[in-house]
Amino acid sequence: MLASMRSLAVVALPLFVAAGCASGPAPDSPVPLGARHEPGYHVRAGAASEVPGDELGFVVTANGLGGYRIAWVALTGSTSTFSGSIESDGVIDPATVAGLSGREQIVVRADGSGIDFSSVPDANADGVDLVPSADPIYVDLRIDGAPAPIFFTGADTSRLSSSAYDPVAFTSP
């Protein structure tokens, strides 16, 4: 009897430890978001984020009050065209949409379902601010027509991360 109880304890301990390790997704990992169940990330509200070093790409930030900024930057002398679309499960009020530098071409769709934009930035950031009526936002971001690097500060770790997906969804928190 004692031998069988020891066997049970040896089997139960690894099962208990394994159950404790499987408590959810890893910090800042993608999870299905919104009505589309699109892979996406939780963005740290109020975090300052930027495209790293000498890279081209986009950065997504959130202000914690429902607003988002999509910004992009190129290297001095670049002629690359940055473009994309932003949608949500709700609508985007045109009164909440603003360009960052004034060089952006931004079109708010007539039905409020999304925003389309493009620009040829330089070392100073271009971007768009918006407030959707519902989270998440869905972004499809391109550089010269190809999927682009997308950076954000993760809500779990407060570290700068890059998305494994494009298109991708973001929400805060």
Write the CATH number for 135: 2.60.40
60 part of a folded domain:
yes
**Where do the DSSP E strands lie in 6-136?**
31-33, 38-42, 57-62, 68-73, 82-88, 98-99, 105-108, 114-119, 126-130
Is the residue at 19 inside a domain? no
- pLDDT digits over 40-63, tens only? 999 999 998 988 887 889 999 999
Q: What's the pLDDT at 76?
A: 78
Range of the domain at 66: 31-171
3 within a domain of the structure (yes/no) = no
Tell me whether residue 103 is in a domain. yes
With respect to residue 5, please indicate whether it lies within any of the assigned structural domains: no
**Domain presence at residue 9:** no
> pTM for this structure?
0.84
